[in-house]
Amino acid sequence: MNVEKIHFSDLNEYYSFFGLPAAEHPLFSVAVTSSENASDTESCPDHEMLISSDFYSISLKHIISGEIFYGRTKYDCKNGTMIFMAPKQEIRLKGLTVESTGRVINFHEDFIRGHKIKEEIKKYHFFSYAVNEALHLSPKEEQMMSSFIDQIEAEHHNNQDEFSKELILSQLDTLLIYANRFYHRQFLHRKEISSDMLDSFIDEVEKYMAANQLDEKTIPTIEEIASVMAMTPRYLSDALKVETGKTAMENLHLHMIDKAKDLLLESDASVATVAYQLGFEYPQYFARLFKKKTGMTPTEYRRSVH
């Protein structure tokens, strides 16, 4: 199956492709499109396309039909959705139809260089989330985010002066802070995404370990488990953090220690043998991790229970 790959290094190429007005600045642009007819739509070609750019992108549009994929995972098409894309991140589109009314902000890393937002943006995990893990907004939240983008758009098209860029970056910073707040709300309230996340996580860890029984045993990485669960590692870790108070790695370690306790009590096998059975390459690392999590060495634990 042929997929057309398109990478945009120029904002005007990007905007022209999606039928948006030309950008007024080479490193920053905000477009607010509206239609008097709420039923007006815009459509992408029916063939599949792989889209990427050199810019950060924040978009708010109502998706009516079509398909968006990140990797092999289909995007959850719902109204009131914001998509955050980092430079070089790829999405696959096919037959996409969206309402012509929408908002999009694009900016190059050079535009935020020298401002605190350049460091802050690294803390916002949602720029590395898969598209199917986009931000789903309530009507009130959507109205608020639309207002933020409208304010940025108004300042951008105002008479430019020495305060313009600082005001735009300040407003963008506020938008991202609220996006972060709404993402945390999403983890708490979107049960279809986060409910029983720990059970699903542990189940995939067990499947991985069972499949590797006959091969050289290794401990699964968070990246491998996240991939099977059709998530990015950061999204999985954030969701588990909300549900359990611990990151994905912390939950993996606790599960491995729990299995280690069983193995230590089921036989007189050496600590090194138990470590290898679990997939630890270095028994010393296993022993240090065990003591860190339980307060005892594996040998001390075995003696205390016996």
Q: Inform me whether the pLDDT recorded for 252 exceeds 90.
A: yes
Average pLDDT, stretch 248-264?
92
- Asked if residue 201 and residue 188 are part of one domain, the reply reads no
- Asked if residue 154 and residue 30 are part of one domain, the reply reads yes
Q: What is the pLDDT of residue 247?
A: 92
Q: Inform me whether the pLDDT recorded for 16 exceeds 70.
A: yes
Q: What is the pLDDT of residue 79?
A: 52
Residue 298 belongs to domain with CATH number: 1.10.10.60
- Return the exposure string of 185-213: e unless at least 16 CB atoms fall within 10 Å of the residue's CB, then b: bbbeeeeebbeebbebbbebbeebbeeee
Give me the number of domains the chain comprises.
2
Q: Inform me whether the pLDDT recorded for 86 exceeds 80.
A: yes
State which of 140, 169, 192 marks the end of a domain: 192
Provide the pLDDT confidence category of residue 45 given band limits of 50, 70 and 90: low
- Asked if residue 158 and residue 90 are part of one domain, the reply reads yes
Average pLDDT, stretch 214-240?
83
- Asked if residue 68 and residue 150 are part of one domain, the reply reads yes
Residue 171 belongs to domain with CATH number: 2.60.120
Interval 60-82: pLDDT, tens: 876 654 555 544 444 454 556 78
Q: What are the residues facing 238 on neighbouring strands?
A: none
Q: Indicate the burial class of 289 (C-beta count within 10 angstroms; 0-12, 13-18, 19 or more).
A: middle
Task: Determine how β-strand 49-53 pairs with β-strand 4-8.
Answer: parallel
Whole-number Å distance between alpha carbons of 79 and 167: 29
Its pTM stands at 0.65
- Asked if residue 95 and residue 68 are part of one domain, the reply reads yes
State which of 192, 215, 246 marks the end of a domain: 192
- Return the exposure string of 40-64: e unless at least 16 CB atoms fall within 10 Å of the residue's CB, then b: eebebeeebbebbbbbbbbbbbbbe
- Asked if residue 266 and residue 186 are part of one domain, the reply reads no
- Asked if residue 181 and residue 33 are part of one domain, the reply reads yes
- Asked if residue 29 and residue 168 are part of one domain, the reply reads yes
- Asked if residue 172 and residue 279 are part of one domain, the reply reads no
Q: What is the pLDDT of residue 224?
A: 92
Average pLDDT, stretch 109-121?
90
Q: Are 92 and 18 in contact (CB under 8 A)?
A: no
Residues of the domain holding 255? 197-305
